[in-house]
Structure 1
Amino acid sequence: MAASDVAGRSGAAETSVWVRAAACFGRWQGGDTAALDELVKLMTPVLWHTVRAYGLSQAAAEDAVQNTWLALVRNSHQVLEAVAIGGWLLTTARRTAWRAKSTDAKAFAVEDTQLAAALPHTAPAEASAMEQLASSALWQHVQTLDERCQRLLRIVAFDDRPDYAGLAQSLGMPIGSIGPTRRRCLDKLRSSLEKGGQL
C-alpha cells in the first residue's frame, strides 16, 4: 500500500464524525461545558436520520432525538470511554425510536401544525412539503436494502471522509471491500428508486 494511501486514510480517521464526537465528549467529561454544544451540533443530524429510518413523524423524531440527548445528560457516567460515545448515542436513539414508533400515530394528527411552526418563513409550504416527501421516500427505499447496506449508507451519508477502519470493524468486513460494497448498495438504492418512479 502506498504511503499516500495510508496518510489519506489516517487523515480521514482523524477527522471522522466518530473521532470528533469522542473528542467533544472527552472534553465535556473534563469540564468543558461548550463541548456538549459541539457534540449536539455534530451528532444531531446522524441521530435525526437514524430515528427517521423507523418511520417516525417529524414531531416524534424530534422528541426521540431530544430524549436521546436527555438520556446522555442523565447517564453520561455509563459511557466509560469517550470513543464509545457515537455507538452509545446511536443505540439509545434506536431504542428511543423503537419505543416511540408505537405511539407515533397518535401524534400524527397535530404534525401539520408543528411542522408549519418549524418551517423557514422564506420557504414556500409546497416546496417544503415536496422536500419532506422526497426525503421520506428516499429513506423508505433505503429500508428495502439489506441491513449491511442500510447501516453503511446511513453512516457515509453524514461523513464526507468516513473512518474506514472504524466502519470495517463495525460492519465486520475488510477495509478494501467498503468502497465496492458502498457502490453496490448505492446501485441497489438507485434501482429501487427508479422502479418506484422516484428518479
Structure 2
Amino acid sequence: MTEVRTAEADPPWEGLQGNDLYAACMRAARAGDRVAMDRLVAELTPLVWHVARANGLDRHTAEDVVQTVWLALFSHLDQLHEPRALAGWLITTARREAQRPYGRKTPPVPLTEEMAERVESTQPAPEAEAVRTDRDNRMWRAFLNLPQNCQDLLRLTVLAGRAEYHSVAEALRIPRGSIGPTRRRCLTRLRTLFEAEGGSQ
C-alpha cells in the first residue's frame, strides 16, 4: 500500500535550520503550502520587526511594515530566484519600507476621569515606565548611530537559536568566521554609544 505523505504530517523542512529551513519552506510555499507560509512568518517575523523598529518606527507603524513585507513576499514568491537569500531579501525590503513616509497615525481614544476610575491599571507605575522608556530611547538612539553593517548584523544575530552564523553570513555576504569578532566589536561600540547617551550597563 502506497504511503500518503502530506506536507503537514511530514514537512520537507523537518530537521532543517537556518537558510536550509527557509529555502525548503519557500519551495513548499510556492506550491501553495500554507503551513510552510506560516512557518516562514513564525521564524522570520522577529527579524522584520527588528529592522522596522531599528529604523525609528513606533510599534503601530512597525506592525504595518511587517504586514507589508510579508504581503510583498507572498505576492511575488516566484520572483525570489534564490530561496536561500530570503533573510537578506527581508532585511532589504523591510529597511526600504521602514524608510517610506508613513504619516498615518491612529488618534488615541479619550479616557474620561470616570472611565479611568473604573479601569484597573495593569501598567507599571508611571515612574518606572518613564525610566524604562527613557532607557529604551537611549538604546535606540545609540543603535541608530551604529554603522549600517553593525545594525544588520545585530538584527540577525539577536534571533538567538534561529539565525545561525552561516545564515547570517550568507544574508550579509560576509565570511562566516568574521561573524563572531565583528559582532563583539559592534556590541562594544553600541555599549560606548549607549553610555555616551547617559545610559548604564
TM-score by length of 1: 0.72
After TM superposition, give the deviation of residue 46 of structure 1 in Å.
Answer: 0.7
Q: Work out whether residues 24 and 36 of structure 1, in 8 Å CA contact, stay in contact via their aligned partners in 2.
A: yes
The correspondence of residues 136-151 of structure 1 with structure 2, limited to 5 A, is 136-151=137-152
1:71 aligns with 2:72: yes
The correspondence of residues 1-199 of structure 1 with structure 2, limited to 5 A, is 15-16=17-18, 18-99=19-100, 102-104=101-103, 106-107=104-105, 110=107, 122-124=122-124, 126=126, 131=132, 133-160=134-161, 162-199=163-200
- From the superposition, tell whether residues 42 and 74 of structure 1 become closer, same or farther in structure 2 (CA, over 3 Å): same
- From the superposition, tell whether residues 135 and 49 of structure 1 become closer, same or farther in structure 2 (CA, over 3 Å): farther
Deviations 1:126-183 (A, max 9, x none): 4667655544432321111122211211111113364333433444543333212211
TM-score by length of 2: 0.72
Q: Which of structures 1 and 2 has the bigger CA Rg?
A: 2
- Of structures 1 and 2, the one scoring higher in RCO (CA 8 A, sep 6+) is 1
* Long gaps (5+) in structure 2: 1-15, 110-120
Q: Equivalent residue of 2:159, what SS? A: coil
Q: Percent identity?
A: 41
After TM superposition, give the deviation of residue 74 of structure 1 in Å.
Answer: 1.8
Aligned length: 173
In terms of fraction of residues, the more helix-rich structure is 1
After TM superposition, give the deviation of residue 65 of structure 1 in Å.
Answer: 0.9
* Long gaps (5+) in structure 1: 1-13, 114-120
Over the residues paired in the alignment, what is the CA RMSD in angstroms?
A: 2.7
What amino acid is aligned across from residue 198 of structure 1 in structure 2?
A: G
Q: Equivalent residue of 2:32, what SS? A: coil
For residues 80 and 39 of structure 2, the distance between their equivalents in structure 1, rounded to whole angstroms, comes to 18
What amino acid is aligned across from residue 17 of structure 2 in structure 1?
A: T
